[in-house]
Amino acid sequence: MGPRIEMRGIHKVYPDGTVALRGVDFRLGPGEIVGLLGENGAGKTTLMKILSGLLQPTRGEIRIDGRPVRFRNPADALRAGIGMVHQIFTLVPPYTALENIILGQEGSNLWLVKDRARDQVQRLLEEVGLSIPLDTPMELLPIGVQQRVEIAKVLYRGTQTLILDEPTSALTPLEVDELFRFLRRLKEGGRSIVFITHKLREVLEISDRIVVLRNGRVTGEISTREATPELLAEWMVGRAVVPRVSRSPHPPGEPVLIVRDLEVIGDLGLPAVKGVSFEVRAGEIFGIAGVEGNGQSELAQALGGLRPIHRGEILLDGKPLPALTPIEAYRRGIAHIPEDRLRFGMALNFEVAENSILSRQWEPTFLRGWGRLDWPRILAFTAALLQRFQVIAPGVRAPARSLSGGNQQKLVVGRELAKEPRLILAVHPTRGLDVASTAYIRELLVQMRDAGKAVLLISADLDEVLELSDRIAVMYEGKFLGVGPVEAFTREEIGLMMGGIVPQGRAV
């Protein structure tokens, strides 16, 4: 039997020039579960968004049962029997499960057809073996059940090919087991499933075949029976040797930051950081690698005073920190290069000068009596900042919007480094930047290290972590799977840990 779905030579270039896919072939047979494995930005989600009609490929073709097709939107794909369950749910919280499932299919009036639809939905749920309380509002249901509703919604539209994007990221282990049982049953019923994940153990457990993506290319494809975690990890992270940035060889000093048994609650109300302990010394860069969404953001936000600490403690220079606010964190010597400058780090419609004091606007240095801003001083400060950190801007009073992405980030990084901090919290500091800005910012971080600052680098870019760090940790599902000097790990071992598997002979 030939494949049900075949994607050939798929290229995708986003309008902003980012190349997401560079010629990917992908096929899927009936009754098959394919695991699509890769790091952040490998192109997994993009590829599947193309298959489900959400994105158009720049080049390449899709065939279904041998016939070429072109999906203009998700409705087209659904008509062809392909449906995707996204990482972020698309449910209406006050509506019941039943209403959510039939929403958009109900014709003119949701409430008129509800009873008719109920039987159909019941039958479908029995057929596939899902149990959902149909009359409970979504907002009262746990995440695992919400996900079932999300899946039922897609199946109700007659889907034969189900795409699941990181479906286990918010689930408890028990819910994961249930999900897997359910997926096997779907498969036995003849449906095909694409399972997007970065978790090695899961993909080995549930799939029949595994396709690994890296940097927009397929780096490996293997039947699951023959796959080993080591092989997959290598495909996932590559084996390139990263050149180390030159740095002054000096022994690190005293610990500046000590974190003990830290637990932080995420946006879904579940623990996102589950008891991590580490220290960052003066004059070292401590890098945290890992696939995004494993608790790194929450950890950084907790250290930056943006998220409360649930349990554990944070010591700075040996003194325990109280409940932190962003201002308190700064006062105690923490500079925070936030993970997303556009979301947290700046206001695009604010002037460059206004952005250069963002998070310092309360400081007496920049104020005169009665809470007035000391504009002459702010403008002088900005001019000096632009010069010191090589930020190219039309002027100190130009809107930040008029700067290139690289210069915006240099402005944010410069602003934080100018705080003369003890500890620098750098989260994805070079994401999406051009080569020159990336190199410059990395150089700055090493300079800070050489100057005796403690640097905590959190990055989803493994190369960056390996290039800059003195010591590293790999974060997975809210925990550290390995901590040690960067030389102590092979790239393959790190890849394994990013996928959730601790290499043989390594205890945490």
Positions in the binding site for another protein (CB under 8 A): 304-306, 325-327, 330, 336, 338, 343-350, 354, 358-359, 361-362, 367, 370-373, 375, 397-399
Q: Are 4 and 65 in contact (CB under 8 A)?
A: yes
Q: Are 413 and 389 in contact (CB under 8 A)?
A: yes
Shortest Å distance, C-beta 444 to another protein: 20
Shortest Å distance, C-beta 423 to another protein: 16
Q: Across-strand partners of 426? A: 337, 457
Residue closer to another protein, measured from CB, 17 or 371: 371
Distances (CA, A) of 167 to 22, 85, 147, 210: 25, 8, 8, 16
Q: Across-strand partners of 455? A: 285, 424
Q: Are 508 and 483 in contact (CB under 8 A)?
A: yes
Shortest Å distance, C-beta 353 to another protein: 11
Residue closer to another protein, measured from CB, 148 or 307: 307
Residue closer to another protein, measured from CB, 77 or 425: 425
Shortest Å distance, C-beta 344 to another protein: 4
Residue closer to another protein, measured from CB, 225 or 343: 343
Residue closer to another protein, measured from CB, 41 or 338: 338
- For residue 161, the SS3 value is strand
Shortest Å distance, C-beta 181 to another protein: 39
Token pair 């994105």 is found at 55
Shortest Å distance, C-beta 352 to another protein: 12
Q: Are 99 and 141 in contact (CB under 8 A)?
A: no
Q: How far apart are CA 412 and CA 350, in angstroms?
A: 13
Residue closer to another protein, measured from CB, 235 or 330: 330
Shortest Å distance, C-beta 350 to another protein: 6
Token pair 């498969």 is found at 187
Exposed/middle/buried for 13, CB within 10 Å: 0-12, 13-18, 19+?
middle
Q: How far apart are CA 425 and CA 115, in angstroms?
A: 55
Shortest Å distance, C-beta 366 to another protein: 8
Q: Across-strand partners of 264? A: 273
Shortest Å distance, C-beta 305 to another protein: 8
The residue among 187, 156, 183 whose CA lies nearest residue 168 is 183
Q: For residue 53, what is the DSSP state? A: T
Tell me how long the chain is. 508
Residue closer to another protein, measured from CB, 52 or 359: 359
Exposed/middle/buried for 250, CB within 10 Å: 0-12, 13-18, 19+?
exposed
Residue closer to another protein, measured from CB, 242 or 306: 306
The residue among 338, 497, 306 whose CA lies nearest residue 428 is 338
Residue closer to another protein, measured from CB, 89 or 350: 350
